Structure 1
Protein backbone atom coordinates (compact mmCIF):
# COMPACT_ATOMS: atom_id res chain seq x y z
CA UNK A 1 0.00 0.00 0.00
CA UNK A 2 1.55 3.29 -1.09
CA UNK A 3 1.44 6.39 1.08
CA UNK A 4 1.21 8.59 -2.03
CA UNK A 5 -2.07 10.16 -3.13
CA UNK A 6 -0.82 12.04 -6.20
CA UNK A 7 1.85 11.95 -8.88
CA UNK A 8 2.95 15.11 -10.69
CA UNK A 9 4.60 14.64 -14.08
CA UNK A 10 6.77 16.81 -16.28
CA UNK A 11 5.82 16.64 -19.96
CA UNK A 12 8.84 16.89 -22.27
CA UNK A 13 11.37 14.09 -21.76
CA UNK A 14 9.14 12.49 -19.13
CA UNK A 15 5.71 11.56 -20.51
CA UNK A 16 6.35 12.58 -24.13
CA UNK A 17 9.33 13.38 -26.32
CA UNK A 18 9.66 15.57 -29.40
CA UNK A 19 11.17 13.15 -31.91
CA UNK A 20 12.07 14.29 -35.37
CA UNK A 21 10.87 12.85 -38.63
CA UNK A 22 13.34 13.19 -41.49
CA UNK A 23 10.62 14.86 -43.54
CA UNK A 24 10.75 17.82 -41.15
CA UNK A 25 14.18 18.69 -42.56
CA UNK A 26 13.52 18.22 -46.29
CA UNK A 27 15.30 20.93 -48.25
CA UNK A 28 17.02 22.42 -45.21
CA UNK A 29 20.69 23.42 -45.16
CA UNK A 30 22.77 25.28 -42.62
CA UNK A 31 24.00 28.89 -43.05
CA UNK A 32 23.20 31.38 -45.79
CA UNK A 33 25.56 29.72 -48.26
CA UNK A 34 23.60 26.50 -47.95
CA UNK A 35 26.80 24.47 -47.87
CA UNK A 36 26.05 21.99 -45.10
CA UNK A 37 23.30 19.43 -45.12
CA UNK A 38 21.11 18.97 -42.10
CA UNK A 39 22.23 15.38 -41.53
CA UNK A 40 21.19 13.14 -38.65
CA UNK A 41 23.83 14.59 -36.33
CA UNK A 42 22.70 18.15 -37.02
CA UNK A 43 19.07 17.08 -36.61
CA UNK A 44 19.84 15.56 -33.22
CA UNK A 45 21.59 18.72 -32.05
CA UNK A 46 18.77 20.96 -33.23
CA UNK A 47 16.24 18.81 -31.38
CA UNK A 48 18.39 18.93 -28.25
CA UNK A 49 18.46 22.72 -28.42
CA UNK A 50 14.68 22.78 -28.80
CA UNK A 51 13.95 20.51 -25.84
CA UNK A 52 16.70 20.96 -23.23
CA UNK A 53 14.89 21.89 -19.99
CA UNK A 54 17.56 24.28 -18.73
CA UNK A 55 20.59 26.21 -19.99
CA UNK A 56 21.16 27.89 -23.35
CA UNK A 57 23.04 26.72 -26.42
CA UNK A 58 23.63 29.80 -28.62
CA UNK A 59 24.90 33.34 -28.18
CA UNK A 60 22.23 35.86 -27.27
CA UNK A 61 21.83 39.60 -27.29
CA UNK A 62 20.38 41.12 -24.12
CA UNK A 63 16.97 41.24 -25.81
CA UNK A 64 17.17 37.63 -26.93
CA UNK A 65 18.32 36.55 -23.48
CA UNK A 66 15.36 38.29 -21.85
CA UNK A 67 12.97 36.47 -24.19
CA UNK A 68 14.77 33.19 -23.47
CA UNK A 69 14.53 33.60 -19.71
CA UNK A 70 10.79 34.34 -19.96
CA UNK A 71 9.99 32.00 -22.87
CA UNK A 72 7.68 29.70 -20.91
CA UNK A 73 5.52 32.54 -19.63
CA UNK A 74 4.08 33.79 -22.93
CA UNK A 75 3.60 32.30 -26.41
CA UNK A 76 5.10 35.30 -28.21
CA UNK A 77 8.28 35.14 -26.09
CA UNK A 78 8.50 31.38 -26.62
CA UNK A 79 8.33 31.87 -30.38
CA UNK A 80 10.86 34.71 -30.33
CA UNK A 81 13.29 32.75 -28.15
CA UNK A 82 13.26 29.51 -30.13
CA UNK A 83 13.35 31.16 -33.55
CA UNK A 84 16.47 32.98 -32.34
CA UNK A 85 18.01 29.65 -31.30
CA UNK A 86 17.23 28.08 -34.66
CA UNK A 87 18.51 31.04 -36.66
CA UNK A 88 21.69 31.20 -34.57
CA UNK A 89 22.07 27.47 -35.23
CA UNK A 90 22.29 28.23 -38.95
CA UNK A 91 18.76 27.77 -40.27
CA UNK A 92 17.24 30.26 -42.67
CA UNK A 93 14.18 32.10 -41.36
CA UNK A 94 11.66 30.04 -43.31
CA UNK A 95 13.23 26.77 -42.15
CA UNK A 96 13.35 27.98 -38.55
CA UNK A 97 9.65 28.82 -38.76
CA UNK A 98 8.86 25.40 -40.21
CA UNK A 99 10.74 23.51 -37.51
CA UNK A 100 9.34 25.68 -34.73
CA UNK A 101 5.82 24.87 -35.91
CA UNK A 102 6.55 21.23 -35.06
CA UNK A 103 7.57 22.14 -31.52
CA UNK A 104 4.22 23.71 -30.70
CA UNK A 105 2.10 21.06 -32.45
CA UNK A 106 0.92 18.53 -29.83
CA UNK A 107 0.49 15.94 -32.60
CA UNK A 108 4.27 15.97 -33.18
CA UNK A 109 5.06 14.74 -29.67
CA UNK A 110 5.56 11.00 -29.10
CA UNK A 111 4.42 9.36 -25.84
CA UNK A 112 6.84 7.05 -24.07
CA UNK A 113 5.84 3.37 -24.34
CA UNK A 114 4.64 3.20 -20.72
CA UNK A 115 2.88 6.59 -20.57
CA UNK A 116 -0.60 5.21 -21.27
CA UNK A 117 -0.08 2.28 -18.90
CA UNK A 118 1.01 4.60 -16.10
CA UNK A 119 -1.80 7.14 -16.50
CA UNK A 120 -4.43 4.41 -16.75
CA UNK A 121 -2.97 2.47 -13.84
CA UNK A 122 -2.81 5.47 -11.53
CA UNK A 123 -6.41 6.39 -12.31
CA UNK A 124 -7.48 2.82 -11.57
CA UNK A 125 -5.66 2.99 -8.24
CA UNK A 126 -7.37 6.28 -7.34
CA UNK A 127 -4.07 8.18 -7.37
CA UNK A 128 -4.50 11.74 -8.64
CA UNK A 129 -2.31 13.06 -11.45
CA UNK A 130 -1.14 16.42 -12.77
CA UNK A 131 1.13 17.55 -15.58
CA UNK A 132 3.37 20.39 -14.41
CA UNK A 133 5.20 21.83 -17.39
CA UNK A 134 7.33 24.81 -18.35
CA UNK A 135 5.65 25.41 -21.68
CA UNK A 136 3.98 28.15 -23.70
CA UNK A 137 1.43 26.19 -25.75
CA UNK A 138 -1.55 24.03 -24.90
CA UNK A 139 -0.28 20.45 -24.74
CA UNK A 140 -3.59 18.89 -23.67
CA UNK A 141 -4.43 17.54 -27.17
CA UNK A 142 -1.31 15.35 -27.03
CA UNK A 143 -3.09 13.21 -24.44
CA UNK A 144 -6.07 12.37 -26.62
CA UNK A 145 -6.20 8.58 -26.78
CA UNK A 146 -3.19 8.26 -24.47
CA UNK A 147 -4.59 8.78 -20.99
CA UNK A 148 -6.52 11.00 -18.64
CA UNK A 149 -4.82 13.55 -16.38
CA UNK A 150 -6.66 15.26 -13.54
CA UNK A 151 -4.95 18.65 -13.79
CA UNK A 152 -2.70 20.51 -16.21
CA UNK A 153 -0.56 23.20 -14.60
CA UNK A 154 1.21 24.97 -17.45
CA UNK A 155 3.65 27.79 -16.82
CA UNK A 156 2.18 30.19 -19.37
CA UNK A 157 -1.27 29.75 -17.83
CA UNK A 158 -0.31 30.12 -14.17
CA UNK A 159 2.52 32.67 -14.47
CA UNK A 160 5.20 30.60 -12.74
CA UNK A 161 8.10 28.52 -14.03
CA UNK A 162 9.76 25.50 -12.47
CA UNK A 163 11.67 25.31 -10.14
CA UNK A 164 9.57 28.06 -8.53
CA UNK A 165 7.74 26.22 -5.72
CA UNK A 166 4.54 28.08 -6.52
CA UNK A 167 3.91 26.10 -9.70
CA UNK A 168 4.07 22.85 -7.77
CA UNK A 169 1.92 24.30 -5.00
CA UNK A 170 -0.70 25.23 -7.58
CA UNK A 171 -0.81 21.61 -8.73
CA UNK A 172 -1.08 20.31 -5.18
CA UNK A 173 -3.84 22.77 -4.34
CA UNK A 174 -5.83 21.79 -7.40
CA UNK A 175 -5.46 18.11 -6.58
CA UNK A 176 -6.22 18.66 -2.91
CA UNK A 177 -3.16 16.69 -1.83
CA UNK A 178 -0.46 17.72 0.69
CA UNK A 179 3.14 17.80 -0.56
CA UNK A 180 4.28 14.94 1.65
CA UNK A 181 1.81 12.64 -0.10
CA UNK A 182 2.87 13.56 -3.64
CA UNK A 183 5.61 12.43 -6.00
CA UNK A 184 7.07 14.60 -8.77
CA UNK A 185 8.49 12.73 -11.78
CA UNK A 186 10.67 14.61 -14.27
CA UNK A 187 13.83 14.61 -16.35
CA UNK A 188 15.48 17.68 -14.79
CA UNK A 189 16.87 17.61 -11.27
CA UNK A 190 17.17 21.40 -11.42
CA UNK A 191 13.68 22.25 -12.70
CA UNK A 192 11.47 19.34 -11.65
CA UNK A 193 13.43 18.72 -8.48
CA UNK A 194 12.16 22.07 -7.23
CA UNK A 195 9.14 20.18 -5.90
CA UNK A 196 11.33 18.88 -3.08
CA UNK A 197 11.34 22.35 -1.53
CA UNK A 198 7.70 21.80 -0.64
CA UNK A 199 8.24 18.30 0.72
CA UNK A 200 7.31 16.26 -2.36
CA UNK A 201 9.20 13.10 -3.17
CA UNK A 202 11.09 13.28 -6.49
CA UNK A 203 11.98 10.71 -9.14
CA UNK A 204 14.39 11.52 -11.98
CA UNK A 205 13.94 9.86 -15.38
CA UNK A 206 16.32 9.90 -18.33
CA UNK A 207 14.95 11.74 -21.41
CA UNK A 208 16.15 9.02 -23.77
CA UNK A 209 14.56 8.42 -27.18
CA UNK A 210 11.25 6.60 -26.72
CA UNK A 211 12.58 3.44 -28.36
CA UNK A 212 15.33 3.28 -25.73
CA UNK A 213 13.16 3.81 -22.63
CA UNK A 214 10.33 1.33 -22.43
CA UNK A 215 9.56 1.36 -18.70
CA UNK A 216 11.25 4.39 -17.16
CA UNK A 217 8.02 5.72 -15.69
CA UNK A 218 6.98 2.35 -14.30
CA UNK A 219 10.41 2.01 -12.69
CA UNK A 220 10.24 5.48 -11.15
CA UNK A 221 6.86 4.68 -9.59
CA UNK A 222 8.01 1.26 -8.34
CA UNK A 223 10.95 2.91 -6.59
CA UNK A 224 8.40 4.94 -4.61
CA UNK A 225 6.09 2.06 -3.75
CA UNK A 226 3.61 2.26 -6.63
CA UNK A 227 3.35 -0.95 -8.64
CA UNK A 228 1.06 -0.91 -11.65
Structure 2
Protein backbone atom coordinates (compact mmCIF):
# COMPACT_ATOMS: atom_id res chain seq x y z
CA UNK A 1 0.00 0.00 0.00
CA UNK A 2 1.25 3.48 -0.88
CA UNK A 3 2.43 5.65 2.00
CA UNK A 4 0.02 8.55 2.42
CA UNK A 5 1.44 10.07 5.63
CA UNK A 6 4.60 9.95 7.73
CA UNK A 7 4.81 10.14 11.53
CA UNK A 8 8.11 11.23 13.04
CA UNK A 9 9.45 10.95 16.57
CA UNK A 10 11.18 14.12 17.80
CA UNK A 11 14.16 13.37 20.08
CA UNK A 12 16.85 11.29 18.38
CA UNK A 13 14.93 11.32 15.12
CA UNK A 14 14.31 14.86 13.83
CA UNK A 15 16.23 16.75 16.52
CA UNK A 16 18.83 15.85 19.15
CA UNK A 17 19.84 17.43 22.45
CA UNK A 18 23.57 18.14 22.27
CA UNK A 19 26.05 20.09 24.45
CA UNK A 20 26.46 23.78 23.72
CA UNK A 21 27.94 26.77 25.54
CA UNK A 22 25.64 25.94 28.46
CA UNK A 23 28.12 23.22 29.38
CA UNK A 24 31.25 25.37 29.28
CA UNK A 25 31.54 25.86 33.04
CA UNK A 26 29.93 22.58 34.07
CA UNK A 27 31.81 20.49 36.60
CA UNK A 28 31.00 17.15 38.17
CA UNK A 29 30.78 16.25 41.83
CA UNK A 30 34.54 15.66 41.76
CA UNK A 31 35.13 19.32 40.81
CA UNK A 32 36.50 18.43 37.37
CA UNK A 33 35.15 19.80 34.12
CA UNK A 34 32.80 17.46 32.34
CA UNK A 35 34.62 15.89 29.41
CA UNK A 36 32.81 14.70 26.30
CA UNK A 37 32.24 11.20 27.61
CA UNK A 38 30.64 12.45 30.83
CA UNK A 39 28.55 14.98 28.93
CA UNK A 40 27.36 12.17 26.67
CA UNK A 41 26.46 10.01 29.65
CA UNK A 42 24.37 12.78 31.19
CA UNK A 43 22.63 13.54 27.90
CA UNK A 44 21.89 9.86 27.40
CA UNK A 45 20.08 9.80 30.74
CA UNK A 46 18.20 12.97 29.80
CA UNK A 47 16.96 11.65 26.47
CA UNK A 48 16.60 7.87 26.82
CA UNK A 49 13.17 6.95 25.40
CA UNK A 50 12.66 3.82 27.52
CA UNK A 51 14.03 2.30 30.72
CA UNK A 52 15.06 4.24 33.80
CA UNK A 53 17.46 7.15 33.98
CA UNK A 54 18.09 6.77 37.73
CA UNK A 55 17.50 4.58 40.79
CA UNK A 56 14.14 5.84 42.04
CA UNK A 57 12.15 5.35 45.20
CA UNK A 58 8.42 4.64 44.85
CA UNK A 59 7.48 8.29 44.34
CA UNK A 60 10.31 8.75 41.89
CA UNK A 61 9.28 5.71 39.86
CA UNK A 62 5.76 7.09 39.57
CA UNK A 63 7.13 10.44 38.44
CA UNK A 64 9.38 8.75 35.88
CA UNK A 65 6.62 6.54 34.51
CA UNK A 66 4.27 9.50 34.11
CA UNK A 67 6.86 12.14 33.27
CA UNK A 68 5.64 12.67 29.70
CA UNK A 69 2.06 13.21 30.81
CA UNK A 70 2.58 15.84 33.50
CA UNK A 71 5.09 18.73 33.42
CA UNK A 72 5.41 18.75 37.22
CA UNK A 73 6.25 15.05 37.34
CA UNK A 74 8.64 15.55 34.42
CA UNK A 75 10.52 18.19 36.41
CA UNK A 76 10.70 16.01 39.53
CA UNK A 77 11.90 12.96 37.59
CA UNK A 78 14.61 14.74 35.62
CA UNK A 79 15.88 16.69 38.59
CA UNK A 80 16.59 13.34 40.21
CA UNK A 81 18.11 11.95 37.02
CA UNK A 82 20.49 14.89 36.78
CA UNK A 83 21.41 14.70 40.44
CA UNK A 84 22.26 11.01 40.15
CA UNK A 85 24.13 11.66 36.90
CA UNK A 86 26.64 13.75 38.86
CA UNK A 87 25.44 17.30 38.33
CA UNK A 88 26.77 18.76 41.58
CA UNK A 89 24.43 21.56 42.68
CA UNK A 90 20.68 22.24 42.61
CA UNK A 91 21.36 25.44 40.65
CA UNK A 92 23.13 23.53 37.89
CA UNK A 93 20.44 20.86 37.89
CA UNK A 94 17.83 23.57 37.39
CA UNK A 95 19.90 25.25 34.69
CA UNK A 96 20.34 22.05 32.70
CA UNK A 97 16.72 21.09 33.13
CA UNK A 98 15.53 24.48 31.87
CA UNK A 99 17.92 24.15 28.94
CA UNK A 100 16.40 20.77 28.03
CA UNK A 101 12.93 22.35 28.02
CA UNK A 102 14.03 25.11 25.65
CA UNK A 103 12.91 23.85 22.24
CA UNK A 104 15.43 26.19 20.60
CA UNK A 105 18.30 24.38 22.34
CA UNK A 106 17.65 21.22 20.31
CA UNK A 107 19.79 20.61 17.22
CA UNK A 108 18.07 19.42 14.03
CA UNK A 109 19.59 16.56 12.09
CA UNK A 110 21.21 17.82 8.88
CA UNK A 111 18.51 16.31 6.65
CA UNK A 112 15.44 17.17 8.74
CA UNK A 113 14.50 20.19 6.65
CA UNK A 114 15.11 18.40 3.35
CA UNK A 115 12.94 15.47 4.41
CA UNK A 116 10.06 17.66 5.53
CA UNK A 117 10.23 19.66 2.30
CA UNK A 118 10.44 16.50 0.17
CA UNK A 119 7.30 15.08 1.75
CA UNK A 120 5.45 18.40 1.52
CA UNK A 121 6.27 18.65 -2.19
CA UNK A 122 4.54 15.30 -2.69
CA UNK A 123 1.50 16.28 -0.68
CA UNK A 124 2.33 13.75 2.06
CA UNK A 125 1.30 15.14 5.46
CA UNK A 126 3.56 14.82 8.49
CA UNK A 127 2.81 14.45 12.18
CA UNK A 128 5.37 14.72 14.97
CA UNK A 129 4.53 12.06 17.56
CA UNK A 130 6.49 12.54 20.75
CA UNK A 131 6.58 11.38 24.36
CA UNK A 132 7.32 14.77 25.84
CA UNK A 133 6.09 17.17 28.52
CA UNK A 134 6.81 20.51 26.84
CA UNK A 135 5.94 22.26 23.60
CA UNK A 136 8.37 21.53 20.77
CA UNK A 137 6.60 23.59 18.11
CA UNK A 138 9.05 26.52 18.51
CA UNK A 139 11.91 24.28 17.31
CA UNK A 140 10.16 23.89 13.96
CA UNK A 141 9.01 27.49 13.74
CA UNK A 142 12.56 28.74 14.36
CA UNK A 143 13.74 26.83 11.31
CA UNK A 144 10.79 27.82 9.12
CA UNK A 145 9.44 24.27 9.15
CA UNK A 146 6.22 24.79 11.09
CA UNK A 147 4.21 25.01 7.86
CA UNK A 148 5.57 21.58 6.88
CA UNK A 149 4.13 19.78 9.92
CA UNK A 150 0.39 19.13 9.78
CA UNK A 151 -0.01 17.85 13.36
CA UNK A 152 1.83 17.63 16.65
CA UNK A 153 0.74 14.61 18.67
CA UNK A 154 2.40 15.24 22.01
CA UNK A 155 1.90 12.91 24.95
CA UNK A 156 1.30 15.61 27.56
CA UNK A 157 -1.41 17.16 25.40
CA UNK A 158 -3.34 14.00 24.51
CA UNK A 159 -2.81 11.91 27.66
CA UNK A 160 -1.10 8.87 26.15
CA UNK A 161 2.54 7.84 25.66
CA UNK A 162 4.15 5.61 23.08
CA UNK A 163 3.83 2.66 22.65
CA UNK A 164 0.19 3.12 23.72
CA UNK A 165 -1.93 2.65 20.60
CA UNK A 166 -3.95 5.77 21.42
CA UNK A 167 -1.13 8.14 20.52
CA UNK A 168 -0.67 6.60 17.07
CA UNK A 169 -4.41 6.42 16.42
CA UNK A 170 -4.69 10.08 17.37
CA UNK A 171 -1.86 11.00 15.00
CA UNK A 172 -3.32 9.28 11.95
CA UNK A 173 -6.77 10.67 12.76
CA UNK A 174 -5.28 14.17 12.89
CA UNK A 175 -3.85 13.58 9.42
CA UNK A 176 -7.02 11.99 8.09
CA UNK A 177 -5.40 8.75 6.94
CA UNK A 178 -5.73 5.07 7.82
CA UNK A 179 -2.99 3.54 9.99
CA UNK A 180 -2.14 1.09 7.22
CA UNK A 181 -1.15 3.97 4.94
CA UNK A 182 1.14 5.69 7.45
CA UNK A 183 4.84 5.17 8.18
CA UNK A 184 6.24 5.82 11.68
CA UNK A 185 9.92 6.83 11.84
CA UNK A 186 11.70 6.80 15.19
CA UNK A 187 14.75 5.81 17.18
CA UNK A 188 13.08 3.33 19.58
CA UNK A 189 11.86 -0.08 18.47
CA UNK A 190 9.92 -0.28 21.74
CA UNK A 191 8.26 3.15 21.90
CA UNK A 192 8.01 4.14 18.24
CA UNK A 193 7.68 0.56 17.08
CA UNK A 194 4.35 0.45 18.89
CA UNK A 195 2.89 1.98 15.73
CA UNK A 196 3.03 -1.46 14.14
CA UNK A 197 0.36 -2.60 16.57
CA UNK A 198 -2.20 -0.29 14.97
CA UNK A 199 -1.16 -1.19 11.44
CA UNK A 200 1.41 1.47 10.58
CA UNK A 201 4.73 0.72 8.95
CA UNK A 202 7.85 1.41 10.99
CA UNK A 203 11.39 2.54 10.18
CA UNK A 204 14.13 2.66 12.83
CA UNK A 205 16.84 5.34 12.83
CA UNK A 206 19.95 5.45 15.02
CA UNK A 207 20.00 8.42 17.45
CA UNK A 208 23.63 9.23 16.64
CA UNK A 209 25.11 12.71 17.10
CA UNK A 210 23.81 14.99 14.38
CA UNK A 211 27.20 15.27 12.67
CA UNK A 212 27.44 11.48 12.44
CA UNK A 213 24.04 10.98 10.78
CA UNK A 214 23.81 13.40 7.87
CA UNK A 215 21.28 11.46 5.76
CA UNK A 216 19.62 8.92 8.04
CA UNK A 217 16.15 10.32 7.41
CA UNK A 218 16.68 10.70 3.68
CA UNK A 219 17.77 7.06 3.57
CA UNK A 220 14.44 6.07 5.12
CA UNK A 221 12.60 7.99 2.42
CA UNK A 222 14.68 6.36 -0.29
CA UNK A 223 14.00 2.87 1.07
CA UNK A 224 10.29 3.60 0.94
CA UNK A 225 10.45 5.25 -2.50
CA UNK A 226 9.56 8.67 -1.13
CA UNK A 227 12.72 10.42 -2.30
Structure 1 and Structure 2 fold alike (TM over 0.5): yes
Match of 1:71 in 2: 67
Helix, strand or coil: the match of 1:121? Answer: helix
> 5+ residue gaps in structure 1?
none
Match of 1:212 in 2: 212
Structure 2 counterparts to residues 34-73 of structure 1, below 5 A: 34-73=30-69
User: 2:100 is matched with which residue?
Assistant: 103
TM-fit CA distance, 1:35: 3.3
Partner of 1:28: 26
Structure 1 56/188 Cα, relative in aligned 2: closer, same or farther at 3 Å?
Answer: same
TM-score under structure 1 length normalisation: 0.95
| Structure 1 moving runs of 4+ over 4 Å | none
Distance between the aligned counterparts of 1:90 and 1:214, measured in 2? 31
Q: CA-atom RMSD, angstroms?
A: 1.2
Q: Deviations over 1:148-199 (max 9, x none)?
A: 2000000000000000011000001111100111000000000000000011
Shift of 1:37: 2.9
Gaps of 5+ in 2: none
Q: TM-score, normalized by length of structure 2?
A: 0.95
Alpha carbons 1:115, 1:146 under 8 Å: kept: no
CA distance in 2, matches of 1:141, 1:84: 26
Partner Cα separation in structure 2 for residue 81 and residue 197 of structure 1:
29
Q: CA deviation at 1:146?
A: 4.1
After superposition, the C-alpha distances for 1:62-86 in whole angstroms (9 at most, x for unaligned) are 1111100000001111111101100
State the secondary structure of the residue aligned to 1:71: coil
Which residue is equivalent to 2:199?
A: 199
SS for the counterpart of 1:30 is: coil
How many residues are aligned here? Answer: 223
Superposed, 1:177-192 pairs within 5 Å as 177-192=177-192
SS at 2:39 equivalent: helix
